[in-house]
Structure 1
Amino acid sequence: MDNSSRTVVVTGFGPFGEHSINASWVAVQELKKLGLGNDILHVCEVPVEYQTVQSLVPSLWKKYHPQLIVHVGVSAMATTVTLEKCGRNHGYKGLDNSSFCPDSQCCVVGGPDCIDSVIDMESVCKRVAATGLGVAVSVSKDAGRYLCDFTYYTSLYLSRGRSAFIHVPPIGNPYSGEVLGRALQAIVQEMLDLLDQAEGKIHCQHVH
């Protein structure tokens, strides 16, 4: 596959609760300034609202036909940049910015309980650590059952796993927006390379 043709959408979230400035959107805007080399990057700010997510995520897939969508969210508890392995369907009780939560408390009625990303987050973590970026990166299996997890599951369901989710700590705790932007750049590039390799293997299997 020609590297110049890869398209990625990266989303961050708007303000909510005590996060009047959402570190995820700050980090995504820093990534936008840095770019992804030959790869095409589109960024989008996502409101912290379940119903908006349900219409916005499919529209991003339809509009851009990306190789990958990476969603970024803030976690007040995070001290590292955290790669989420999977999204979960049930347990959405927290009210969003419109004081709404789904009656079913799930993302997709009848969908699987959990969907894993096709990207091996442990590999991404190791590769990024090896670049000496100076940012701690870890892997998690629980994206928190709020808008982050809801968005991730919705995207994984639509893309059959071709999505990723990254949690970032609040700005200055310990990283600046610029440092987080650089970390996102490194992580997204590793994710794209891993996807390319996986697809290369699939094509080889078809040939034999």
Structure 2
Amino acid sequence: MHTPAAVKSLPTVLLTGFDPFGGERLNPSWLAVQSLQGQHIASHKVVAAQLPTVFDTSLLELARLLEEHRPALVVCVGQAGGRAAISLERIAININDARIPDNAAAQPIDTPVVAGGPAAYFTGLPIKAMLLALQGEGIPAEVSQTAGTFVCNHVFYGLMHHLATQRGFEGVRGGFVHVPWLPDQGQPSMKTDELVRGLRVAIATALATRADIAAGAGSLN
């Protein structure tokens, strides 16, 4: 059992979810992430935080959290209605192309996330190992080749760009995970407890796995 001093010194996993958007009254990403606040996974403490579903503002809040907590691992989580499994995102692209307005009524079309930034970044998470671990626990999971072009991709790209370009984040790994709707939002769906269990498995696997089964990390120009 960790003493209070030991807990304070534990390395941090920063886990983020989003507030509801698009007329929804809840967001499963935040409900699942919030449930892991303060928990310990593989000798790391989880810090859960909510990001606004707003272009630009979400990245300002994420940058603040990264500077405050200096995490060893970052997993940003978002809602993907219509998907039936926990989706481990492979790549973030440098484009905003919003089908609907964000929560501040902004709807950027064909604009870059970061002007002059690389075309894309690959995830820093061991997504193939995470996939096998999730499936081994009977949790529906998949590797996804697109995080879309809304605020989820915006945050995913912004995260990877921050880790790649800001001093003090060398060796910090990060990535993005999409989760399905909850049952009362529509179908297909997953229950909150299964989402929470899936995130725990995914985080534990990421912490235990430095080299993925067949992974690449870095940027595409």
- Give the TM-score of the pair, scaled to structure 1: 0.85
Higher helix share goes to which structure?
A: 1
Task: Tell me what 1:115 maps to.
Answer: 121
Structure 1: state its 5+ residue gaps. Answer: 199-208
2:141 corresponds to 1:137:
yes
Equivalent AA in structure 2 for residue 177 of structure 1: T
180, 189, 212: which one aligns with 1:169:
180
Higher strand share goes to which structure?
A: 2
Aligned length: 192
* 1:41-190 map, 5 Å: 41-94=46-99, 95-102=101-108, 105-130=111-136, 132=137, 134-160=138-164, 162-172=173-183, 173-190=188-205
- Give the TM-score of the pair, scaled to structure 2: 0.80
What percentage of aligned pairs have identical amino acids?
A: 26
- Runs of 4+ residues over 4 Å off in structure 1: none
- Describe the shift of the 1:103–1:180 C-alpha distance in structure 2 as closer, same or farther (beyond 3 A): closer
Q: Residue 35 of structure 1: CA displacement?
A: 4.2
In structure 2, what is the Cα distance between the partners aligned to 1:87 and 1:145?
9
Q: How large is the RMSD of aligned CA atoms in angstroms?
A: 2.0
In structure 1, what is the Cα distance between the partners aligned to 2:97 and 2:162?
19
In structure 2, what is the Cα distance between the partners aligned to 1:99 and 1:28?
25
In structure 2, what is the Cα distance between the partners aligned to 1:178 and 1:37?
20
Q: Could you say what secondary structure the match of 1:149 adopts?
A: helix
Q: Residue 45 of structure 1: CA displacement?
A: 0.7
Q: Could you say what secondary structure the match of 2:209 adopts?
A: helix
Moved more, 32-41 or 147-156: 32-41
Equivalent AA in structure 2 for residue 186 of structure 1: V
CA contact (8 A) 2:133 2:201 kept: no
In structure 2, what is the Cα distance between the partners aligned to 1:71 and 1:125?
16
Equivalent AA in structure 1 for residue 182 of structure 2: I
Equivalent AA in structure 2 for residue 73 of structure 1: G
Task: Tell me what 2:216 maps to.
Answer: none
CA contact (8 A) 1:8 1:42 kept: yes
Moved more, 148-157 or 103-112: 103-112
Q: Residue 18 of structure 1: CA displacement?
A: 3.5
1:73-124 deviation digits (Å, cap 9, x = unpaired): 0111110000001111114234211111447611100001110012231221
